[in-house]
Amino acid sequence: MSEHKSDISGWLVRRATWHLWVVLGAVLAALVVRTARVTSDGGMDNAIVVRAARVWLAGGSPYDDSHFLYLPSAVLAAVPQVLIPRDVLGVLVPVGVVGCLAGGWGCALRLHGVALRSRFAALGLIGLAVGFAPFAHLVLLGNWTATAVLALPLGLLLAGRGRWVSAGAVFGAAVALKPLLAPMALLFVFAGRWRGLGVMVVVPVAASAGAAALLPDPAGFFTRTLPFLLRGDDGFVRLYEASPVAVLPRVGVPWVVAAGVASVAAGVGVGCAYRRWRGGGVDSLRLVETGAMLMLSAFLVSRPSYDHYLLVVVPVVLAGVPCERAVGRGVWFWVAMVPQVPGVSWPYLEAVQRRAFRDAATLCGLAVAVAVHCVRSGRVVAPPPPLPFPSSRGAAPSTPPGAPPPDPRAFRPPADPARSARSLESGEASGPSGVGGVGD
């Protein structure tokens, strides 16, 4: 990313002063301290996983809790938290969540070629923490979505450097903790990276199969969790879901119609992602926009789909703002973000249980903005044929395919500089054409 541009992007990518880092540290520290003071077990959502691990250590099945929506491998991953005192855990978890969010932001910046010490690196993370409500919400909940926020840009960064197998391992490990990045398997299909896809599938399958063998109810995820997700009959969960499948029935739309609309929208989104991938262009933007469209398509139809899921997509897209023709530079991307500005009281949506309508507006707005950008960027314009030019070794000039061969009489070799200088000093006249050296 060039620092010599005269516009705002050039100013943003220059090195930040220490004042910005102090402000960033104060903001992130405030989030950690507040979370540690008002929560236990690191947050409400993290407590669900820790409680499942405690139940398993006591000989029970973690899937007795209908709100435990993770693969069996997550149970073993949560066991170390059981061994940590609660007071210490209440601090470590928000620190870990903030670390994942900051690490994901750093990977997204490197993916787009932006320096980690730039003004944009500091200001962007401050903006997310202060101006994007799901950021603080995710820290408060301690939800394991933070692992996906880190894994998505890290995996895309590895893929952008040609390390697709390593990218598959990163995505697979994230799915083993929380199956949120499963739609990224389609990116490997689009790219034809079958070894990377195999690694992405094998890692969570092997981890979950090994963990399930240690549970008293090995098939609990399939017999209890999946039916719960497909039915979506939990009244408490439904109030906070942002997908059209959950929001439209709340305004009187039949569930079948809502599911159909969401499914069609998700299918169109996958098509737009494939078009963007086929369109080529800058590798970083191509990877980010294709991956973002795949994830947004899944969020449109998945159950559940919460506001903090937006953090999987927004930072990696926002990090590309200094790049030309990035989707983050579009006005509709920023319009979709407006409902997530903290401190704004929206009429009839003040209640916490109604914020899902605001989240749905942002989700659908981002999906439309990214989809339109993918379609426009997917239009491949063939470059003009190269013009003939003489070879530096005196070979015949190159010509476009299908063009008639050049006339040998029309080719003039470059003039000898030394001869031209002597000719000027001696007053020697040029050739008949007046351009020098070789007569007709």
What are the structure tokens assigned to 253, written together? 């739309």
Decide: 211 and 75 in contact? Cβ < 8 Å. Answer: yes
Single out the residue of 153, 117, 141, 152 nearest to residue 31, CA to CA. 141
Between CA 207 and CA 87 the distance in angstroms is 30
Confidence of residue 370 (pLDDT cuts 50, 70, 90): very high
* N- to C-terminal Cα separation, the chain: 51
Q: Sorting pLDDT into bands at 50, 70 and 90, what band is 14?
A: confident
* Alpha carbon separation from 344 to 341, 354, 356 (Å, rounded): 6, 14, 15
Reported as a single tens digit per residue, the pLDDT across 198-214 is 999 999 999 999 999 99
Two structure tokens written together for 15? 């090195």
**Closest by CA position to 318, among listed 295, 346, 289:** 289
Q: How many CB atoms lie within 10 A of CB 272?
A: 26
Among 369, 317, 16, residue whose Cα is nearest residue 156? 317
Residue with tokens 């030394």: 418
Q: Is the peptide bond before 390 cis (omega within 30 degrees of 0)?
A: no
Q: Which of 108-117, 118-127, 238-247, 306-315 has the lowest mean pLDDT?
A: 238-247
**What region, left, alpha or beta, does residue 325 occupy, with left being phi > 0 and alpha being psi -120 to 50 degrees?**
left
| CA gap 151, 137 in Å, rounded | 19
CA-to-CA distance for 8 and 166, rounded, in angstroms? 35
For the four alpha carbons of 358, 93, 166 and 210, in that order, the dihedral sign comes to negative
Q: Residue 8: CB partners within 8 Å, gap ≥ 6?
A: none
Q: Which residue has the tokens 């491949």?
A: 380
Model pTM score: 0.83
Record the tokens describing residue 144, joined without a space.
Answer: 């394991």
CA distance 316 to 230: 29
- What amino acid occupies position 181? L
Please report, rounded to a whole number, the percentage of residues in the chain having pLDDT higher than 90: 62
- Residue 15 forms beta bridges with which residues? 118
d(CA 203, CA 155): 14
**Residue 153 identity:** P
- pLDDT band at residue 166 using 50, 70 and 90 as cut-offs: very high
Check if the beta carbon of residue 159 is closer than 8 Å to that of residue 167: yes
For 34-63, the pLDDT digits (tens) are: 999 998 888 899 999 999 999 999 999 999
Strand partners, 118: 15
Please say whether the beta carbons of 282 and 324 come within 8 A.
Answer: no
Alpha-carbon gap, residue 311 to 315, rounded angstroms: 6
Q: Is 396 helix (H, G, I), strand (E, B) or coil?
A: coil
pLDDT of residue 267: 96
Residue 433 pLDDT greater than 70, yes or no: no
DSSP annotation string for 164-221: HHHHHHHHHHHHHH-TTSGGGHHHHHHHT-HHHHHHHHHHHHHHHHHHHTTSSSTTHI
Using one digit for the tens of pLDDT, what is the confidence trace for 94-105? 999 999 999 999
Q: Which residues does 422 contact at the CB level (< 8 Å), separation at least 6? A: 428
Token readout for 359 is 């989240």
Q: Which residue has the tokens 């940590």?
A: 84
Q: Is the pLDDT of residue 402 over 70?
A: no
What Rg do the C-alpha atoms of the chain give, in angstroms?
A: 28
Choice among 25-34, 270-279, 362-371, 428-437 with the minimum mean pLDDT: 428-437
Do residues 186 and 197 touch, judged by C-beta distance below 8 A? Answer: no
Band of pLDDT at residue 434, cut at 50, 70 and 90: very low
